[in-house]
Structure 1
Amino acid sequence: MADTVHTHALPAEIFQPEDPLLVSERVAVAAFLAGYSGGTRVSYTTDLRIFAGWCHDHDLNLFNLKRAHLELFGRWMEQQGRMASTIARRLSTLSSFYKYCQIEDIITKNPAANVRRPKVDCESRTLGLDRNELGALLVQAGLGDVRDGALMTLLALNGLRISEALNADIEDMSTERGHRTLAIVRTGSKHVTIPIAPRTGRALDLYIGDRTIGPIFLGVQGGRMDRYCADRMIKRLTRQAGITKRISPHSLRHSFITAALDAGVPLRDVQEAASHADPRTTMRYDRARRSLDRHATYIVSTFVAGATRQG
């Protein structure tokens, strides 16, 4: 394969002068990543780059590893303080990469096939905002820059992934059967059309103004706004709203899901709104929410107190 793929055709995020991968390894990684796009490609690229750096530091070749090496990589991530979900995802990425290499006859055996992965909590550990905090944050966003207000409203009231919001263009906005809508590309290159609440629509119209084409959200240089800029903006607004939690763009998605569940939206409808392929993913948010609010201790305390009063 190395004889037929030219290095100048490799993706920019892989072929870097300082990259620890050898040319043959670079080609294999680039070919593997070519089958993915969007957030999945970005995630896989990050995982493989980190693993390649670890291999380089330990004088290891990507194509000459054993299961024990990947187990050691997992332990190293634990020592670095990585979350169990992050470790499990990276080991899953490596399993997919080595499976590809095995199919392409680059290696004879997948060293990651039986690597033990950490157990991931069934509850989401992402910090979310409660109803009052979410309201306060939206009020704060509305007092500032119109771009901030538009993005915060879209994230909080539609639960979009930050990549979905930032990749949307003005041309993707429309009207369908009386609903303001936005066409977005979700995980797995799935194209969907979502409704926009009147409050969100007004915020977007105010920000977009007379523009008719191009990205909805613009960066300071006039190009498409990037996720790092969005992250900084959200953290700034969170501080200004007096919220002490460490909030990220995903926290707003988490807040949307839990707010929908608290408002009584059926789990199946929340799953669809969040574009979760598996209902168990949505249920993770539901468990995290109910574990405190609906804990049996409250019912038992009331039950026992009633028996005491009767006695």
Structure 2
Amino acid sequence: MKALIEEFIYYLTVERGLAENTLESYARDLERYSAFLSKHGITKFEATNKTNVMAYLLHLQKQGKATSTISRHLASLKSFYQYLLREKHIEQDPTVNLESPKLQKKLPRVLSVEEVEILLNQPRLNEPAGSRDKAMLELLYATGIRVSELISLDLDHVNLEMGYVRCFGKGSKERIIPIGSLAKKYVEEYLHRGRVRLIKSKGETALFVNHHGRRMTRQGFWKIIKKYAREAGIKKDITPHTLRHSFATHLLENGADLRSVQEMLGHADITTTQIYTHLTRGRLREVYSKTHPRA
């Protein structure tokens, strides 16, 4: 079973060009599934059927896993079994006609413009790490890129003269996103004052580096944004995606069209971007109730 999982992950890497985080997620889901099968005396995927898959999903449910987690596991199994069928490792796909549990769409948590302002003003610019943190936060809010895209940026992915950033999203899809004057200013300051003092090797290509002089990690950035949220006195539960959500919401609130926001966020489907319109409608209702004399 392990060999087939590795073969599938290799296929996703080479043929589909999926991001490392996605590959790790697939591998983790499938390893848990194979461990469940082994515990129940099944040592080959060829010997599995729909009952085994349903038993596994029920097992996840009994463990108290969220609906979104169970849906993700089923999506991983569907992709895997379709691959096994296509490669003739199995004769029937046991996941056919199995539907994901219905998801309750959660609205993303966003910061107000004032909260973003306070958060972005926390880093100490006289320190190399503070200069880096300021540039990272400003760039994240200016572009709405994912944290994985932010930490993957190399020096040649940012063109400060022309005012744009080139990033590679899911499936290695490239997109060009404009950056504003403030983000440009702080990235430039970081390059001239902060990065030169943080890097240990002149051959380092990463734009944002940690105190070891190597590429910043997702976990490293998560700690940074949590620290500044605490210092700013923001009580909301901030995640690395909070500034991305705030970027999209604030653009729509100020009249940006949905298609442009979709393109900047790198969403393949506009329905993913439409979740932010629910937030802006809620904001409109709030403004109306506070300002209309007969509300």
Aligned to 1:28: 7
CA shift, 1:68, in A, is 2.5
Among 134, 146, 171, which residue is 1:161 paired with?
146
Deviation (angstroms), 1:101:
0.5
Query: Which of residues 69, 77, 90 is equivalent to 2:52?
Result: 69
Letter in 2 for 1:147: R
The residue that corresponds to 1:8 in the other structure is: none
| Cα shift readout 1:61-82 (whole Å, capped 9, x = no counterpart) | 3502222332233333334444
Alignment partner of 1:135 is 2:135: no
- CA-based RMSD: 2.7
| Cross-structure match for 2:199 | none
SS at match of 1:188: helix
Identity among equivalent pairs (%): 31
Secondary structure at the aligned position of 1:110 is classed as coil
Structure 1 pair 42–198 and aligned structure 2 pair: CA distance change class (3 A): farther
Alignment of structure 1 residues 75-114 onto 2, 5 Å: 75-114=58-97
The aligned counterpart of 1:170 is 155
Task: Give me the whole-angstrom Cα distance separating, in 2, the residues matched to 1:289 and 1:58.
Answer: 49
Cα gap change, 1:278 to 1:46, in 2 (>3 Å): same
**More off after superposition, 54-63 vs 215-224:** 54-63
Q: Is the 8 A contact 1:71 1:116 kept in 2?
A: no
Alpha-carbon displacement from aligned partner over 1:196-255 (angstroms, at most 9, x marks no partner): 211111111121227586101112222111101111111111111111122111122111
The correspondence for 1:233, drawn from 224, 227, 244, is: 224
Matched residue SS, 1:140? coil
Partner residue of 1:254?
Answer: 245
TM-score, normalization: structure 2? 0.83
Q: Which is helix-richer, 1 or 2? A: 2
**Structure 2 CA distance for aligned equivalents of residues 72 and 292 of structure 1:** 43
Cα deviation for residue 58 of structure 1 reads: 4.1
> Scaled by the length of structure 1, what TM-score is found?
0.79
Q: Does 1:42 align with 2:21?
A: no
Q: Deviations over 1:157-193 (max 9, x none)?
A: 2111011111111112225xx6312211111211122
Unaligned runs of 5+ in 2: 197-201
Structure 2 CA distance for partners of 1:111 and 1:140, relative to 1, 3 Å: same
Tell me: CA distance 1:171–1:31, structure 2 relative to 1, closer, same or farther (3 Å).
closer
Structure 1 residues 147-158: aligned runs within 5 Å:
147-158=132-143
Is the deviation greater in 285-294 or in 237-246?
Answer: 285-294
> Equivalents in 2 of 1:156, 1:200: separation in Å?
9
Give 2:3's aligned amino acid.
S
Which of residues 100, 103, 120 in structure 2 aligns to 1:120? 103
Unpaired runs of 5+ in structure 1? 1-21, 307-311
Q: Aligned match of 1:274 in 262, 265, 269?
A: 265
User: Contact between 2:9 and 2:26, CA under 8 Å: does it hold in 1?
Assistant: no
Name the count of aligned residue pairs.
Answer: 278
Structure 1 residue 282, shift from structure 2 partner: 0.7
**d(CA) in 2 for partners of 1:29, 1:87:** 20
Q: Distance in 1 between matches of 2:239 and 2:192?
A: 27
